[in-house]
Amino acid sequence: MKHSNLFRTGLILVVMATFIFQAAFCRAAVIHVRSDGNDAQSGATWSGAKQTIQAAVTAAGQGDEIWVAAGTYAEHVKNKVVGETAVDVALYGGFIGNESARDQRNWNANVTIIDGGGGPFPTPPESGSVVTIDSGAGQAMRIDGFRIIRGHAMAGGGISVTGAAPVITNNTIQNNTGSVGGGILIYNYKITPPQSHAVVTDNTIVDNYAVEAGGGIAVVGSERIVTYDRASPIISRNSILRNISEFHGGGIGIYGHAGPQVLNNMILANTAAYAEADFMGNGGGIYASSRDVDDTPLQYTVCAPVITTNVIAANGANFGGGIHLWDTDVDHGGIPSVTNNTVVANNGSGISWITTSPVVQNNLVAFNSRGFEQGDAQSPATTFRSNSVYGNQLWDENTNYTGFADQTGANGNISADPLLANFKIGDFHLRTGSPCINAGHTPAIGAGWMDIDGQDRIIGAAVDIGADESDGTVGSVPTPVYHVSTTGSDGQNGSGWATAKRTVSAGIAAAAQTGGEVWVAAGTYVERNSLPAFVYLYGGFAGDETSRSSRSIAAHPTILDGGGIPTVINCLKAGYQVSTVDGFTIQNGGAYTGGQVPTGSQGYKGRGGGIYCQVSSSLIRNNIIQHNSLGNPFDSANKTGYGAGVYTYLSYSLIENNTIFENETINSLSGQGGGLFFFRSMPTVKNNHISGNKAKFGAAIYSLYANPRIIGNIIEGNTFYNNMPGYYMGAADGAVTLDMNWDFLVEKNLIRGNTAGATGGVGAGINAKSNLAGRIQNNLILGNNANGMGGGIYALAPLNAASSLFIINNTIVANTGASYGMEQGGGLALSIPPAITLPDPIANRIVVANNIIAFNSSGIFETLTTPMVAPTLIKNDIFNTGSNYINLTQGAADIHADPRFINRTGADFHLATDSPCIDAGDNAVAALAFTDYDGIVRIIDGNGDGSAWVDMGAFEYRNSAYQFTGDVNHDGAVDLTDAVLILQILSGIAPAQPAFKDADISQDGKIGMAEIIFILQKTAGIR
C-alpha cells in the first residue's frame, strides 16, 4: 500500500558506502551524550554521558561513534582535526538514552536538535554553521539522525562541508540561512589538485536560509585536499523542505567540479532569489553549474549531476523553479542526467537549462507556470525521451514547452493529465489509470533502482513516468479541511466546527502538516500569518457549513487584522497556485492614517502591508484589502513603502475579484503602489475594484521590471494626499504606473477620476514610461486629471524598446492635462527621445490606432525633442475641447468628428447608430484585440455595407445582424467562418466563453460539435 502523505519519506535507501562503513567500524568505541549529562564525564555509558556534542567530538578517536539522546543542544559542532588531518567520527541522534544497540534508536520519535541560535526568519543574526566538516574528513565521518536548525553563516548555515566527504543521513535540517544552496550546497572550485567527495543521504532538510553559501549544507573544495577527484556526494532519501537561498539553489546548489547523485528526495517548497536583487536567483529546487558561486567561470570544471526519482514541487525561482542547469561544460563531459522525477507546481519553469545539454527521460512535469524551458538557442542538442508534460500554463496559455518545439508524440513523450492522487495537498502518487503507468523508457533505469517510496522501480510491463511506481492501490485522495472560529480553541483538532481552532495561525499550522483547506468563520482575528504551499485559506463562513459553496462572504465578514503592523498575510515558499487567500477583509497591515500626521514614529517601512507574495504565486480572490499603510514622511527616515495593499516579487499570482480600497504608501518622496506593487513579476490582475488608494507614484498600481496583465478592473479615485505642503503635495504620476517593464497588457479596464495633482504630474490614468513593449487596448479612460502631461495616458518610449508600444481601441474622454495654463495633452501625452548616435531599433516606437480621443482639455501632446520623432497615428477620432494636436502632425487617416456616443452624460460610451466611428478603424494593426471591452468579437460589419472593419474606440457596434443565431463572429452572416471560430475555441487558439456570447448555440452550457453541426446545416440551407 502506498503512503498517503509524501511529507514523510518512507523507507530508507541504504547505499553501498553505508554498508562498508558499518562493517568496518562495528567495533568502534561509543561516547554517549545527554542534555542532562556532564562534560567532565567520560561518556562511556548513558549514566556517565557528556552534556555537549562538541565535547564528545573532541574526546573521540578515529572511527568512534557518538550517540546523542533526544533533546535540544544549543551549540555549534565542528569535526575534530589533528594537525591538518581530520579525525572521522560518526554522530548518531535519535536515542531515548537507554539503548544498548544503535538499531534500537528512532530518530523520528526521539527528536535530537542541534540549535545554532541564529534567530527567527527572515533576518536572523549571524551565528555560523551549526555543523562544520572540513580538512579532508572521509566517509567515516557521519551526521545521522539529527534536526539541525537556526544556523546563519556565510557558507552552510546548517552544515558546511569543506574539502571533506562525510555521510549525512536521516537528518532534519531546518530554519538555517544562506546565500546559495539554501538546503544543500555542493561546491568544488578547483580541480588541480582534485577536491572533495561527500555522501549526503537520508535527510529531512527544511526551512534553511544562509547568507553566502549553503543554507542547509555547504560542500566546499579545499586546495590542500587531494584524495578526491570532485564533489560527488550521494544525496538520497532526504526531505528538503522550505529552504531559502538569497540567490541560486533554494533546495540544493551544485557548483564547480561536481558530479553528485541526487536520488529519491522530496524537494518541496524551497525558494531561490530571496534577496530581491537585480541578480536574480535560479533553481528553486536544484541548481547546477560548473561555475563558481558568484557565477564567474572556472577553468576545467565539469558539472554532471545525476538527478533521479525525486519529487520536486512548489519550489520557486527566476529560471527553473524546479531544476535549473547552467553552463555545465558539456564539451568536457558536463552532461546532467535528469530521469524519472515528478516536477509539479513550481513557481517558474519546471526544468530549465542554458548552455548545457542534459539527458532528460521519464520525467513528469505538470502544473508549473512553465514546463520545460530552454533559455538560449545555443544549447547543444538534448536527449529528450518519454516525458509527460501537461497542464503547465500562464495566463491561460499553454506553456508546456518554452524556447524549443513541442515534443508531444515524439520519442515517447506524452501530454495527458497524469492523474495524481492530489497534488494540491502534496500527494504526488499516480492514481490507477494514469497515462504515466508503464509509459517510461525502461533502459534509462539502473539496476536496483527504487521509487520514491522505496518500492521496486519496475512493477508492470515498463517503468512508469515520474518518481512514483504505481502498484495499483492509489485512488483520488480527499482534501482535509480545518475549521477556525472565534469560539474555538487551539487545543482542538479543527476537524469540524464543533472542534474548531481559535486562531488562523493554528489552522494554518495544522493544514501545513497534511495540506488542506482552512475554513474561517466570521469574526475579527488580530494576527499576522505566513501562508505556505498546499494550504488554502477561505473566509466568509457562518460556522455551520458543510461545503465551501455554502458560504456567504458578504453576509459573514471574516477580518484578518494586522493590528497596525505589516504584513497581514505573507505568501512565502508557496509554489505555483497551490495556496489561496479567499474571502477575507485584510486590514491594518500598518496603522492607517487617512492623510493625518502619524503619531511619533508611527508607520513602517517595507513591502506589502496587506499581502506580501514573494517567489510564490498564490490565488488572491474575493477579498477586501483596505486600510493598510506603509511609510512615514514625518520622521527623519521618511520611511519607504511599496505596495501597501499587495506586493509581489517573482510572482505569477492571480489577483481576482478583490476590492482594494484606501490603502496608503505615505512616503512623500518615493512611495510606490498604494494599492498594488509588482516587482519582476508576471501577475494577472483581473476584475478588481481598485479605488481610493494613495501613493506618490502609482496610487493604484505600480509595476517595475515586470510583465503584468491588468484586465477588466475598475480603477477610480486613486491619488495622493495634498493637504500638507512640504510633505503631502499630490500624486506625481498615474493611477497605473508601468515603469521599465519588459512587457505589459492593460485591457478592458474602466480608469476614471484619478488625479496626478503634484505640479508636473503626468499620466493621471496611465503612466507608461520606458517599457520595452506593451499594449493599452479596449479601455475606458474617463475624467482623469494631471497637473502636467497626459490626463488620460502618458507614454515614454525608450531607445532600447524591443517592440512598439501599442495604444489601440481605447475610448479616452473628458480628461485634463495642463500645467500653468499650458495644455499638455488632456487625452494623451507622448515622449519619444531621438536616437542620437545609434539607429532607432524600432521604426514605430509608439503606435496610436483606432482610438476615440474626445472631449478632453486637449487631444495629443508630444514633448519637444530635437530632432522630433513622430508617433504612428492610424485612424483615430480626435475631437477635443482644446487643440487636437500639440507639437505633432495629425495622422493622415484621423478624423475629427463627434463620436456620437449613446449617452455621454449618462456614461454610456457605446456607439450610436449614426456614429462616424463605426467601421472606421484599421484591421491591419499588428496588436488588434480579438474582442472589445464587452468581450464581443471585433470586426463586425457595423454599417451593413458588406465589408467588415473594426470600429474606433473601446466598443464594437452591434448591428441588427448581430442577432442572427449562429453568427459567432458577428459579421452579419452564418457561414463557415463561424464553424472555424468554434474549432479555434475548442482547440484553445481562441478564448472560450464569455468572450463569445453567441457561441453556445445549443444553450447547453458548452461549446462543441452541436454548434458546428448547426452552422454547417445553416450554411447548407437545411435550417
Quick one: pLDDT band at residue 111, thresholds 50, 70, 90? Answer: very high
Residue 401 confidence (pLDDT) above 70: yes
For the segment 265-308, what is each residue's pLDDT rounded down to a tens digit?
A: 889 998 898 888 776 789 999 999 999 888 899 888 888 899 99
Quick one: pLDDT band at residue 960, thresholds 50, 70, 90? Answer: low
Helix ranges (H only) for 593-727 are none
Which amino acid type is present at position 20? I
**Cα-trace Rg, the chain:** 31
For the segment 346-399, what is each residue's pLDDT rounded down to a tens digit?
A: 999 999 999 999 999 999 999 999 999 998 766 666 899 999 999 999 998 999
Residue 773 confidence (pLDDT) above 60: yes
Residue 979 confidence (pLDDT) above 90: no
CA distance 725 to 622: 38
pLDDT at 2: 53
pLDDT at 130: 87
Quick one: pLDDT band at residue 210, thresholds 50, 70, 90? Answer: very low
353 to 282, 328, 846: CA distances (angstroms): 10, 10, 35
Quick one: pLDDT band at residue 1006, thresholds 50, 70, 90? Answer: low
Average of per-residue pLDDT values in the chain: 87
pLDDT at 245: 83
pLDDT at 229: 41
Give the number of other Cβ atoms within 10 Å of residue 960's Cβ. 8
For the segment 409-420, what is each residue's pLDDT rounded down to a tens digit?
A: 999 999 999 999
pLDDT at 970: 67
Q: Dihedral (C-alpha) 739, 742, 747, 753: value to the nearest 10 degrees?
A: 0
866 to 831, 862, 863, 870: CA distances (angstroms): 12, 12, 10, 11
CA distance 13 to 450: 8
Range in 240-249, 550-559, 711-720, 976-985 with the lowest mean pLDDT: 976-985
pLDDT at 765: 98
If we measure between CA atoms, which residue out of 271, 244, 179, 279 comes closest to residue 705? Answer: 279
DSSP conformation letters of 654-666? EEES-EEES-EE-
For the segment 289-299, what is each residue's pLDDT rounded down to a tens digit?
A: 999 888 899 88
pLDDT at 527: 98
Which amino acid type is present at position 586? I
Residue 12 confidence (pLDDT) above 50: no
Do 329 and 380 contact (CB within 8 A), yes or no? Answer: no
pLDDT at 466: 98
If we measure between CA atoms, which residue out of 587, 484, 583, 482 comes closest to residue 526? Answer: 587
Task: Tell me the mean pLDDT in the region 140-158.
Answer: 82
Using DSSP's 3-state secondary structure scheme, residue 908 falls into strand
pLDDT at 407: 95
User: Which tops the pLDDT comparison, 128 or 780?
Assistant: 780
Give the number of other Cβ atoms within 10 Å of residue 227's Cβ. 14
CA distance 865 to 880: 24
Range in 359-373, 773-787, 1000-1014 with the lowest mean pLDDT: 1000-1014
Range in 160-164, 654-658, 694-698, 900-904 with the lowest mean pLDDT: 160-164
Task: Tell me the mean pLDDT in the region 334-338.
Answer: 94
CA distance 517 to 536: 5
SS (H, E, C) 938-978: CCCCCCCCCCCCCCCCCCCCCCHHHHCCCCCCCCCCCCHHH
C-alpha cell at 178: 544562506
CA distance 662 to 153: 41
For the segment 555-593, what is each residue's pLDDT rounded down to a tens digit?
A: 999 999 999 999 999 999 999 999 999 999 999 999 999
**166-202 burial: b if 16+ Cβ within 10 Å, else e:** bbbbbbbbbbbbbbbbbbbbbbbbbbeebbbbbbbbb
Query: Over pLDDT 70: what percentage of the chain?
Result: 87
Quick one: pLDDT band at residue 937, thresholds 50, 70, 90? Answer: confident
CA distance 960 to 516: 51
83 to 57, 59, 87, 228, 477: CA distances (angstroms): 16, 16, 10, 20, 57
Residue 36 confidence (pLDDT) above 70: yes
The alpha carbon of 120 is separated from its chain's Cα centroid by a whole number of angstroms, namely: 23
Quick one: pLDDT band at residue 156, thresholds 50, 70, 90? Answer: confident
Task: Tell me the mean pLDDT in the region 900-917.
Answer: 96
User: Which tops the pLDDT comparison, 705 or 986?
Assistant: 705
Quick one: pLDDT band at residue 16, thresholds 50, 70, 90? Answer: very low
- 822 burial (CB, 10 Å; 0-12 / 13-18 / 19+) is exposed
CA distance 923 to 928: 7
Task: Tell me the mean pLDDT in the region 309-337.
Answer: 93
Residue 687 confidence (pLDDT) above 80: yes
CA distance 769 to 774: 10
pLDDT at 991: 59
pLDDT at 1023: 54
pLDDT at 195: 42
Q: Please provide residue 681's backbone torsions phi and psi, each rounded to the nearest 5 degrees.
A: -125, 165
Residue 204 confidence (pLDDT) above 50: no
pLDDT at 376: 79
For the segment 738-761, what is each residue's pLDDT rounded down to a tens digit?
A: 999 999 999 999 999 999 999 999
Query: Over pLDDT 90: what percentage of the chain?
Result: 65
For the segment 435-494, what is each residue's pLDDT rounded down to a tens digit?
A: 999 999 999 999 999 999 999 999 999 999 999 999 999 999 999 999 999 999 999 999
* Cα 91–Cα 96–Cα 100 angle in degrees, nearest 5: 75
C-alpha cell at 650: 517573482
For the segment 483-508, what is each residue's pLDDT rounded down to a tens digit?
A: 999 999 999 999 999 999 999 999 99
Residue 197 confidence (pLDDT) above 60: no
Task: Tell me the mean pLDDT in the region 609-630.
Answer: 97
